[in-house]
């Protein structure tokens, strides 16, 4: 153990001497490793943080949940909107039939969505998102309240003039969210009373439910204010726990075709949009982005590896007589080999650390610029160190082998 520590200490000292004596040469060689680590770790950290935030937003849409709609949510440049626009809208009665006839359904809700102005006293907010769900909505799409309460079962079933609103709406209309509870509001010439304020959700990267700026009213009350046909109706169906999503999708597809009396040759006039499909698509997209970062970074690392190998060849030539003296007094081949490999690895690690410092600076500015944290996980840090050590060993293996095989007599006389 003592011998290993001596080799480590000696290699570290020689590496710093190399930096001190040949600043420009070593610095230029480090740039390849520094830029490579910066590209790879910078991309991985940013992509990983962004993916985690988007996956979090996707999970907030309801785990193991399928949205039954006339529209396909996949989008894309070749989206055939004309195929979907003339499809019939999902209906409340269809939701009831699915609930009664599909044992695989754990929770199901019918939801309407429209926009209108919201008033309180002399304050006005234009084009507020109004949601009109049925009772199971809060169980499929859970959220916390910052103040007040949610609707009771009776209110959800029969309707009420009470409303639950988003945190930002409450702040704009009443100064503080907590002040909103119990206060009157006006919506499309109808009066209501705030009974609850949703806890602040923050920015969503995928759209979805805009809970910070919404107003929720029960489905029967919503129908009195808005026209159901033009309020983007959708059915949210959540499967029983541990049920396979594909099996659930097949069950819903069969039931919806029966409900709409579609023949064997008739195409589906509805779409089953699965939350798990969104998650897989996002993972695939970010995997492609990460591969791009790896490609750019690896090119830089290859350049850096050749530069460091060049340094090590020059170093072996400069220290040939010293290597001969060491071998003459008993130093073994593996000791010489280890010293040069460790020195090469230390140089790579130094370049990698500079790259990581630049990445930390990048993540700081990205965190300040966007409303989500960008961070470097321990897994990514470990990957960066592993890459540096691997590049150091690969770059130094040939020069170190040459040094280890030198004849001590020839090496001493070379000076």
Residue 108 confidence (pLDDT): 95
**Nearest-CA neighbor of 211 among 289, 146, 152?**
146
Percent of the chain with pLDDT over 90: 36
Query: d(Cα 104, Cα 247) in Å, to the nearest integer?
Result: 9
User: Rounded mean pLDDT of 193-219?
Assistant: 85
The gap between the terminal CA atoms of the chain, to the nearest Å, is 33
Instruction: Identify the pLDDT of residue 96.
Output: 95
Domain residue ranges in the chain: 2-57+280-413, 88-269
Alpha carbon of 180 to those of 86, 114, 117, 122, 309: distances in Å? 41, 22, 17, 14, 68
Is residue 390 within 8 A of residue 306, CB to CB? The reply is: no
Checking if the pLDDT of 74 tops 80, the result is no
Three-class DSSP labels, 169-220: HHHHHHCCHHHHCCCEEEECCEEEEEEEEECCCCCCCCCCCCHHHEEECCHH
pLDDT, one tens digit per residue, over 341-364 is: 877 888 788 888 888 888 888 888
pLDDT (0 to 100) of residue 253: 93
pLDDT digits (tens, 9 = 90+) for 81-123: 888 888 999 999 999 999 999 889 999 999 999 999 999 988 9
Of residues 330 and 367, the one with the higher pLDDT is: 367
Question: What ranges make up the beta strands (E) of 121-183?
Answer: 123-133, 145-148, 162-165
Least Cα distance to 355 among 300, 295, 306 occurs for 300
Poorest-confidence range of 22-31, 197-206, 247-256? 22-31
305 pLDDT band, cuts 50/70/90, is confident
Yes or no: say if 105 and 96 are a contact pair by the CB < 8 Å rule. Answer: no
- Summarize pLDDT for 158-170 with one digit per residue, the tens: 999 999 999 999 9
Predicted local distance difference test score (pLDDT) of residue 58: 66
CA distance 180 to 170: 6
Share of the chain above pLDDT 70, in %: 84
Mean pLDDT confidence for 253-266 = 93
């Amino acid at each position: 153990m003592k011998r290993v520590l001596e080799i480590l200490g000696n290699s570290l000292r020689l590496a710093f001497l190399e930096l001190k004596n040949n600043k420009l040469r070593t610095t230029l060689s480090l740039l390849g490793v520094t830029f490579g680590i910066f590209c790879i770790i910078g991309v991985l950290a940013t992509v990983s943080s962004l993916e985690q935030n988007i996956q979090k937003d996707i999970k907030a849409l309801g785990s193991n949940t399928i949205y039954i709609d006339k529209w396909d949510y996949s989008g894309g440049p070749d989206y055939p909107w004309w195929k979907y626009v003339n499809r019939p809208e999902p209906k409340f009665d269809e939701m009831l039939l699915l609930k009664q006839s599909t044992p695989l359904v754990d929770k199901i809700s019918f939801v309407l969505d429209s926009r209108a102005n919201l008033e309180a006293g002399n304050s006005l907010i234009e084009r507020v998102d109004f949601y009109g769900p049925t009772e199971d909505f809060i169980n499929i799409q859970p959220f916390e309240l910052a103040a007040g309460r949610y609707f009771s079962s009776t209110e959800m079933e029969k309707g009420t003039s009470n409303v639950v609103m988003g945190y930002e709406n409450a702040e704009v209309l009443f100064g503080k969210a907590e002040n909103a509870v119990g206060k009157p509001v006006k919506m499309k010439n109808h009066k209501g009373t705030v009974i609850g304020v949703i806890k602040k959700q923050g920015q969503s990267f995928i759209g979805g439910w805009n809970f910070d700026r919404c107003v929720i009213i029960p489905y029967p009350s919503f129908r009195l204010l808005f026209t159901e046909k033009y309020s983007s109706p959708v059915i949210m169906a959540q499967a029983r726990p541990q049920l396979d999503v594909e099996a659930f999708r097949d069950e819903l597809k069969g039931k919806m075709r029966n409900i709409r009396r579609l023949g064997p040759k008739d195409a589906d006039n509805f779409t089953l949009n699965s939350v798990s499909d969104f998650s897989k698509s996002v993972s695939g997209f970010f995997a492609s982005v990460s591969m791009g970062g790896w490609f750019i970074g690896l090119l830089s690392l290859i350049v850096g590896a050749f530069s460091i190998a060049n340094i090590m060849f020059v170093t072996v030539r400069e220290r040939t007589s010293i290597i001969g003296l060491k071998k003459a007094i008993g130093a073994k081949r593996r000791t010489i080999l280890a010293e040069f490999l460790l020195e090469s690895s230390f140089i790579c690690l130094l370049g990698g650390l500079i790259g990581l410092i630049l990445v930390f600076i990048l993540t700081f500015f990205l965190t300040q610029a966007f409303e989500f944290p960008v961070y470097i996980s321990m897994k990514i840090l470990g990957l960066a160190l592993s890459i540096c050590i691997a590049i150091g060993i690969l770059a130094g293996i040939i020069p170190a082998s040459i040094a280890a095989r030198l004849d001590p007599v020839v090496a001493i006389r070379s000076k």
